């Protein structure tokens, strides 16, 4: 690599902007698929650029064949380290927290999509998730011949709801009022 392209502030800035445009969108999609935020992706990619700049400024820069592949490799490694560190630092008592619904969720929209599965499905899902009835009790209550039949019925009900949501291309942001 020619270090002359890093000799002035303007050249360095243009160099980093080109690298950012070349590799960041791919990395941001990767982080999003892994459950990370845009801010986390930006922070980690900044660290990646620093590491890459140090490599380019050193005599070892000739080893790099593809800038984009090299940047993505560094960024993914940093992301995995960040992700693992986050899991290590999570207190154990966080795992015992019970679910408290977010008050911002539009319950009307959620109920509408549950209702599209039908009255029987809605009652079945209510028995499982709201009333927290054991599978055997649900099977007896709804007249299923076995617990397996009740479980399959619950699965089919959930699939109806998922299909409706998918058809309408909904995501979490759509259910926020």
Mean pLDDT of all residues belonging to the chain: 77
The pTM score is: 0.45
Question: pLDDT tens for residues 51-81?
Answer: 888 887 776 556 566 788 888 888 888 888 8
Cα dihedral 138, 142, 146, 151 sign: negative
What DSSP character marks residue 105?
A: B
176 beta partners: 105
Give the span between the Cα atoms of 10 and 13, in whole angstroms: 5
Residue 173 has pLDDT above 80, yes or no: no
Tokens encoding 87: 């899991």
Cα dihedral 34, 49, 46, 38 sign: negative
Residue 37 binned pLDDT confidence (cut-offs 50, 70, 90): confident
Q: What 3-state class would DSSP assign to 62?
A: helix
Question: pLDDT tens for residues 118-134?
Answer: 888 888 888 888 888 88
Give the span between the Cα atoms of 119 and 96, in whole angstroms: 33
What DSSP character marks residue 176?
A: B
CATH of domain 107-175: 1.10.10
């Amino acid at each position: 690599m020619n270090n002359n392209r890093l000799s002035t502030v303007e050249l360095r800035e243009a160099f980093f902007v080109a690298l950012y445009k070349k590799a960041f969108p791919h990395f941001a999609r990767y982080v999003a698929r892994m459950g990370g935020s845009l801010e986390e992706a930006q922070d980690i990619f900044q660290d990646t650029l620093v590491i890459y700049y140090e490599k380019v400024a050193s005599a070892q820069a000739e080893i790099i064949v593809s800038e984009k592949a090299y940047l993505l490799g560094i960024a993914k490694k940093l992301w995995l380290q960040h992700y693992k560190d986050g899991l290590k630092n999570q207190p154990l008592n966080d795992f015992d927290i019970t679910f408290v619904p977010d008050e911002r969720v539009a319950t009307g929209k959620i109920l509408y999509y549950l209702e599209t599965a039908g009255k029987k499905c809605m009652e079945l899902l209510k028995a499982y998730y709201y009333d927290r009835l054991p599978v055997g009790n649900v099977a007896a209550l709804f007249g299923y011949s076995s617990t397996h039949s009740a479980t399959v019925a619950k699965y089919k009900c959930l699939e109806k709801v998922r299909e409706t949501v998918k058809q309408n291309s909904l995501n979490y942001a759509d259910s926020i009022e």
